[in-house]
Chain A
């Protein structure tokens, strides 16, 4: 599963896979040799114990009834960190926020979730794509984010090119039904 987690306004794209040890999450990014920091979490009487390589600590979380996916994580000492977890479905729903029901019959417009710079365009006009295929990579706040399509289709139009800055909500790619 792919998630975007926004910690105090800074967004991280995360891929979570199930392995034999449980669940493993990795930050999505490109280039350079990865420097790993492994953390593991366990539960103690409803609180979270976080273990890093040579240290561990207790955390407490509180959810937000009014905002789904929002957690305030308190690590003892100071203001808690606000984390918003969005799963793939929510991200795509937001990306396609501009598309109306009527647009479903015509081309779907995929929009940028955030202001950023286009790093790479992976989709070429006329190409057929399957659901979840990556279409382009947008960099924002030093993080690179893959924009994927929600459903299969044919690329009708590409609005952007590498190096270009885009605003939140800007149209990126138009997708015709397959």
Chain B
């Protein structure tokens, strides 16, 4: 039994791990950069230690420092959360070699499955469908033959890539060599390896993934799939469990493939096997995420009671300005509540949203007996959820809820771009009078010297008379 866990992360995931520790009677240790000194995750743990400046490279990504804090505080385990070092096999190994428990898959399994080419090779050998493409890295000479064999358009992918980086789509053979050089350059600078391979581009496709759980005795189970097709820049915005299109027969085959891959790799802990699914419900392995995922919550909400769960990633971005980041101070916060409405967040009024870290502010997760009711509930909860001071993805939900294609689950991995453009052309929500009065009040307050972009100063009462011509 573990006694003390070091949480090598920040934000909502660090809070969730700290909560689990508290419920299980395990002590927890938070770490924080100087930018996060006052962050909520610091208070969620039993003790907290500063690990360096705001730049992740010198704090949350500094493996040696994290291991030394774990040893100094007498922790016997490290939980990496998601992002940062969670899929870094070298860090996992460092933790293991320091005699600490790594709460995640063994470093060997991370190394084996984290490299996309290795994962492809393993999957092929196991009879799991993979996307047609090259068996190894391609270079100037071999890329043409590989692309022709796969058929245009093709994707060039970094073998050790992740997070949507090092991926390029090539439609025309004339662009192939130039794009390959760019992809190799990007891969080298982002991941320290220039290995790039070719895959056929499957379009339109859905992104559907299977949650697996493995114990230390080699038992692996799957918990069904999540639908994660609503993405921008290869990053997910809305997730559903189950997928509205997957049939029981396809679900069983997807799950069986995911379990076979995890078993073969000697997997342990939670993981996700990602697939692309075409219009005929043929599926192809995309990759395996050897860690806890952001969207695990939506599966948790759907695991015990059959029905439909939907999750929105509330990020500090303006969806109507090309998802431009919106940093600043959270001026006010109203969280939604009610039945089957869950919020995973590290938000609080006064919190600083920094440009150093991921823009994820919260996850809003709802459950209902049917997908239709779940969409209605998500819209109700999103309208209740108010964040002052920064712009967020919350306003997207009202538009999604009245979109006939979304209601009918007719979408694919690049559908969201067109949807956002349509939503931006729709009339905004709310009354002109109300907006006008609120903006004036905020402006007057900012000129009086209180903080800008906040609500009117406490106690100030504004009367606004509206006189149409």
**Residue B202 interfacial (CB < 8 Å):** no
The minimal Cβ–Cβ distance linking A60 to chain B, given in whole angstroms, is 4
Contact A48 B334 (CB under 8 A): no
Interface residues on A, range: 35 or more
Nearest-neighbor residue (CB-CB) of B332 within chain A: A46
**B434 near A35: Cβ-Cβ < 8 Å:** no
**A44 contacts the other chain (CB 8 A):** yes
Between A24, A36, A45, A63, the greatest number of chain B beta carbons within 10 A of the residue's beta carbon is seen for: A63
Question: B307 on the interface (CB 8 Å rule)?
Answer: no
Chain A nearest CB from B205 CB (Å) reads: 29
Asked if B456 lies at the interface with its beta carbon under 8 angstroms from chain A, I say: yes
Nearest A residue (CB) for B336? A76
Q: Are B328 and A62 touching (Cβ within 8 A)?
A: yes
Given A7-B436, A79-B395, the answer on whether A22 and B463 have CB atoms closer than 8 Å is: yes
Contacts of B318 in A (CB 8 A): 72
Which chain A positions have C-beta within 8 A of B442?
Answer: 48, 61, 63, 71
Asked, given contacts A62-B328, A77-B398, whether A25 binds B462 with beta carbons under 8 Å apart, the answer is yes
Taking the complex as formed, is A23 at the interface, i.e. its CB lies under 8 A from any CB of chain B? yes
Determine if B247 is an interface residue (Cβ-Cβ < 8 Å).
no
Q: A36-B466, A77-B379 are in contact. Are A44 and B435 (CB under 8 A)?
A: no
One of A38, A50, A62, A81 near B388 (C-beta < 8 A) = A62
Over the window 429-454 of chain B, the binary record of Cβ atoms lying under 8 Å from chain A Cβ atoms (1 yes, 0 no) is 11111111111111110110000111
Q: Find out whether the CB atom of B436 lies under 8 angstroms from the CB atom of A14.
A: yes
Asked whether any CB of chain B lies closer than 8 Å to the CB of A27, the reply is: yes
In the assembled complex, B149 has its CB within 8 A of some CB on chain A: no
Task: Give 7 nearest A-B pairs by CB, closest first.
Answer: A78-B429, A63-B453, A46-B332, A75-B430, A83-B439, A47-B332, A76-B383
Cross-chain contact A3 with B440 (CB below 8 angstroms): yes
Contact of A76 among B386, B388, B447, B467 (CB under 8 A): B386
Within 8 Å of chain A (Cβ to Cβ): is B457?
Answer: yes
- Take A41-B437, A41-B441, A61-B454 as given contacts and tell me if A81 and B428 are in contact as well, using a CB distance cutoff of 8 Å: yes
- Assembled-state Cα–Cα distance A86/B193 (Å): 53
- Say yes or no: B434 contacts A43, CB within 8 Å: no
Determine whether the beta carbon of A29 is less than 8 Å from that of B467. Answer: yes
Q: Which residue of B lies closest to A25 (CB)?
A: B464
Q: What residue of chain A has the Cβ atom nearest to residue B430's Cβ? A: A75
Confirm or deny: B399 has a beta carbon within 8 angstroms of a beta carbon on chain A. yes
* CB contact under 8 A between A21 and B428, given known A75-B435, A144-B469: no
- Complex interface residues of chain A between 45 and 67 (CB less than 8 A to chain B): 45-48, 50, 52, 57-65
* B-facing residues in A67-103 (Cβ within 8 Å): 69, 71-85, 87
Q: Is the CB of B431 within 8 A of A62?
A: no
Q: Indicate which residue in B428, B446, B464 contacts A39 across the interface (CB closer than 8 Å).
A: B464
Verify if B394 is at the interface (C-beta below 8 Å from A): yes
Known: A41-B456, A81-B435, A143-B469. A25 touches B326 (CB 8 A): no
A140 to chain B: closest CB distance in Å?
A: 12
A27 and B389 alpha carbons, distance in the complex (Å): 27
| Min CB–CB distance B40 → chain A (angstroms) | 16
Could you jot down 15 A-B contacts, CB within 8 Å? Answer: A8-B432, A12-B432, A22-B462, A47-B331, A59-B438, A60-B387, A61-B389, A62-B389, A63-B452, A71-B439, A76-B382, A79-B320, A79-B427, A83-B435, A87-B447
Q: In the complex, A168→B131 CA distance in Å?
A: 57
Judge whether B2 is part of the interface by a CB distance below 8 angstroms.
Answer: no
CB-contacts of B129-186 with A (<8 A): none
Residue of B at shortest CB range from A22? B461
B439 touches which one: A21, A31, A73 (CB < 8 A)? A73
Query: Contacts of A69 on B, CB cut-off 8 Å?
Result: 443
